[in-house]
């Protein structure tokens, strides 16, 4: 267990520094956007990682409702929290990229940015619910809300898609294929960020298990004191 | 040249966010550890 | 008792209670009135401008006002342990939920019927598109707010400071529905494009969340 963790931490550190080198130095400079385009190597893999984590949250919420296994509940909580962290990275780096390229910080009609923002809001409200909820019902209620949130995502996507076709706005990408070398760097960065997400989730899981154990022990202690 | 500032800003922001989250986790972990020690006594 | 008998009984009880006390409707109406007045001071728009912004104003006002009614849907049942009694009774959970959602739907529709003339007067509104389309937009939009609102109100019963929790849960999930209502209304008022897509989106939203709510409500009611 301990050794596995150390190995993962080492691998993540190595992979992240290699990915950083690839993104900043080895990757070719984009012709129209210039060096700013390199933000892409952090922005896009973070977004993909966040989506993977939210998917894990959705699946483990369903599993929890069927099996009532506390492990599934912990996994749902951890993936949502780490997902929000990665989503924050996406939302912060997005405008930093948009500013020099489009000339504006935020494009309300841009489908990916806006969908990500709504996703971020939904999962933050999920985390607030988990924190505010009382008693042993938290896992069930949280799982229910997670399912609502996940089902909302396609609706958000379609509504913004139509909103965009009404209000034209600067959108990058679209057609045109990616340079294979850029795609390569992108995948390396994604692998690195997935490892980082795994590492963070691991730490968070351990923390959650320890917290629950302490809470239980505290409850027992106060029970013992009151019965004395 | 100016565009380089944006590039660095984005990379630094990413690591600041991850670092902050990690710091929060470590602090919480320390608190839980202390509580565990106290309960063990 | 059958499904519909329970729904009818609960709904009739809620409407009778509201008719006698008028707590929710009075609070909602006054709140809506305040919003209309404050917005009209803040913007003082011409007829042209108000056509563009009215869709947003109206629905934001209705959303905030609806939260007032939604918050006290279940709170009423907590006093005297009515909800616990319901839980131990053999009645299914869904008719109760449906009755509550229908009750809120009626309250919010009454509010909208009373507030709309005020909006028209204060913002000099006149629809340039097909005005009859506003009826399905209002009905579908209200149902979208109310179905999720009723569900999340039941969820926020299980939290500390539940009055704060409801909007925190409801608003993010309602974003596509709000976008639909606001844009459909604006489309009809300005008459520039068709509101068809937005109505379809609202319909899809209603179908999805009504189904999920009915599937999952029992878990929330029984969550102990």
pLDDT in tens, chain A (228 residues): 678 888 998 999 999 998 888 888 887 777 777 777 888 889 889 999 999 999 999 999 999 999 999 999 999 999 999 999 999 999 999 888 888 877 778 877 677 788 889 999 999 999 999 998 877 788 999 999 999 999 998 888 888 787 766 555 544 444 445 677 888 888 999 999 999 999 999 999 999 999 998 988 888 888 888 887
Complex-level ipTM: 0.90
Dist. CA C162–CA C156, nearest whole Å: 5
- List all residues 6 or more positions away from A52 whose beta carbon is below 8 Å from its beta carbon: A194, A197
Q: In chain C, which residues have their Cβ closer than 8 Å to the Cβ of A133?
A: 158-160
- Rounded to a whole number of angstroms, the distance from the CA of B18 to the nearest CA of chain A is 7
CB pairs under 8 A between A and C: 92
pLDDT tens, residue by residue, C2-17 = 888 888 988 998 889 8
Most confident of the following: A112-116, A161-165, B25-29, C120-124: B25-29
Beta strands in chain C (DSSP E): none
Residues 6 or more apart from C126 whose CB is under 8 A from it? C47, C120
pLDDT of residue A168: 52
Contact yes or no for B35 and A96 at CB 8 A: no
The residues that bridge with C159 in the sheet, in sequence order, are A133
pLDDT at A3: 86
Chain C residues with beta carbon closer than 8 angstroms to that of A125:
168-169, 171-173
Binary contact (C172, A160; C-beta < 8 A): no
C208: Cα separation from own chain's centroid = 16
Question: Where residue C224 falls among pLDDT bands split at 50, 70, 90?
Answer: low
Which residues of chain B have a CB within 8 Å of the CB of A96? 6, 9-10, 13
Q: pLDDT band for position C22 (50/70/90)?
A: confident
3-class secondary structure, C90 = coil
Q: How many CB pairs under 8 A join A and B?
A: 75
Closest CA to C197 of C211, C186, C183: C183
Q: Would you state the pLDDT for residue C108?
A: 93
- The pLDDT score that the predictor gives to residue A175 is 43
Chain A adjacent subunits, 3+ CB pairs under 8 A: B, C
Q: Which two tokens stand for residue C118?
A: 């005020």
Q: To the nearest whole angstrom, how far is the Cα of B41 from the nearest Cα of chain A?
A: 12
**C179/A166 CB distance under 8 A:** no
Buried/exposed code over C175-212 (b: 16+ C-beta within 10 A; e: otherwise): bbbbbbbbbbbbbbbbeeeebebbbebbebbbebbbeb
For the ranges A30-34, A45-49, C66-70, C133-137, which has the lowest average pLDDT? A30-34
Q: Is A133 helix (H, G, I), strand (E, B) or coil?
A: strand
Contact A198/B at CB under 8 A: no
A39 with B18: Cβ contact below 8 A: no
Q: Give the model's pLDDT for residue A23.
A: 84
What's the confidence (pLDDT) of residue A174? 46
Distance CA(A140)–CA(A21), nearest Å, equals 44
> Cβ of B14 and A218 within 8 Å?
no
CA distance linking residue A83 with residue A121, whole number of Å: 12
Q: Which of B11, B19, B40 to mutate to test the interface with A (most CBs of A within 10 A)?
A: B11
Q: Do the Cβ atoms of B6 and A39 come within 8 Å?
A: yes
Of A134, A135, A163, the CB nearest to C183: A163
Q: How close B11 gets to chain A, by Cα (Å)?
A: 7
- The verdict on A218 touching B (C-beta cutoff 8 Å) is yes
- Grouping H, G, I as helix, E, B as strand and the rest as coil, residue C159 is strand
Q: With 0.95 as the threshold, say if the pTM is over it.
A: no
Mean pLDDT of chain C: 88
Contact assignment for A99 to B6 by CB distance below 8 Å: yes
B8 vs A: CB within 8 A = no
Q: Any chain B CB within 8 A of the CB of A210?
A: yes
**Count of the separate structural domains present in chain C:** 1
Among candidates A89, A99, A207 on the partner chain, residue whose Cβ is nearest the Cβ of B25: A207
Is A218 in Cβ contact with B35 (below 8 Å)? Answer: yes
Is B32 in contact with A207 (Cβ distance < 8 A)? Answer: yes
Residue ranges making up the domain that contains C86: 3-222
Provide, as residue numbers in chain A, all residues whose Cβ is less than 8 Å from the Cβ of C207: none
CA atoms within 13 A on the CB side of A184: 9
């Amino acid at each position: 267990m301990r050794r596995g963790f150390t190995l993962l931490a080492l691998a993540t550190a190595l992979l992240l520094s290699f990915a950083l080198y690839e993104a900043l130095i080895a990757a070719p400079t984009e012709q129209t956007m210039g060096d700013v385009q390199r933000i892409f190597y952090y922005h896009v893999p973070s977004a993909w990682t966040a989506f993977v984590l939210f998917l894990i949250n959705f699946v483990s919420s369903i599993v929890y409702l069927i099996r009532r296994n506390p492990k599934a509940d912990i996994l749902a909580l951890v993936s949502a929290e780490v997902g929000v962290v990665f989503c924050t990275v996406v939302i912060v780096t997005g405008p930093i990229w948009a500013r020099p390229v489009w000339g504006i910080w935020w494009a309300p009609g841009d489908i990916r940015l806006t969908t990500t923002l709504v996703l971020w809001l939904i999962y933050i409200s999920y985390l607030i619910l988990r924190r505010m909820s009382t008693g042993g019902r938290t896992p069930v209620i949280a799982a229910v809300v997670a399912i609502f949130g996940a089902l909302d995502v396609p609706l958000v996507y379609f509504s913004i898609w139509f909103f965009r076709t009404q209000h034209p706005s600067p959108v990058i990408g679209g057609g045109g294929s990616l340079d294979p070398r850029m795609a390569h760097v992108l995948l390396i960065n994604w692998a690195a960020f997935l490892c980082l997400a795994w590492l963070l989730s691991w730490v968070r899981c351990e923390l959650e298990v320890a917290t629950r154990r302490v809470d239980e022990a505290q409850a027992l202690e106060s029970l013992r004191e009151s019965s004395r | 040249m100016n565009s380089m500032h944006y590039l660095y800003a984005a990379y630094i922001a990413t690591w600041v966010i991850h670092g902050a989250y990690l710091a929060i986790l470590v602090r919480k972990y320390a608190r839980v550890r202390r509580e565990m020690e106290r309960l063990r006594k | 008792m059958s499904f519909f008998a329970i729904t009818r009984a609960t709904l009739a009880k809620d409407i009778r209670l509201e008719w006698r006390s008028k707590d929710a409707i009075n609070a909602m109406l006054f709140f809506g009135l305040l919003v209309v007045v404050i917005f009209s001071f803040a913007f003082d728009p011409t007829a042209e401008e108000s056509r563009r912004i009215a869709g947003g104003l109206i629905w934001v006002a209705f959303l905030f006002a609806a939260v007032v009614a939604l918050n006290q849907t279940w709170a009423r049942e907590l006093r005297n342990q009515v909800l616990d009694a319901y839980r131990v009774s053999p009645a299914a959970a869904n008719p109760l939920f449906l009755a509550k959602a229908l009750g809120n739907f009626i309250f919010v529709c009454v509010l909208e019927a009373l507030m709309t003339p005020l909006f028209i007067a204060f913002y000099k509104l006149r629809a340039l598109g097909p005005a009859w389309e506003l009826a399905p937009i209002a009905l579908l939009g209200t149902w979208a707010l109310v179905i999720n609102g009723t569900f999340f109100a039941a969820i926020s019963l299980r939290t500390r400071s539940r009055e704060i929790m409801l909007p925190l849960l409801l608003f993010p999930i309602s974003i596509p529905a709000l976008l639909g209502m606001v844009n459909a209304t604006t489309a009809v008022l300005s008459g520039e494009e068709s509101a068809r897509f937005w109505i379809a989106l609202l319909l899809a939203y209603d179908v999805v969340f009504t189904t999920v709510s009915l599937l999952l409500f029992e878990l929330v009611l029984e969550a102990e």
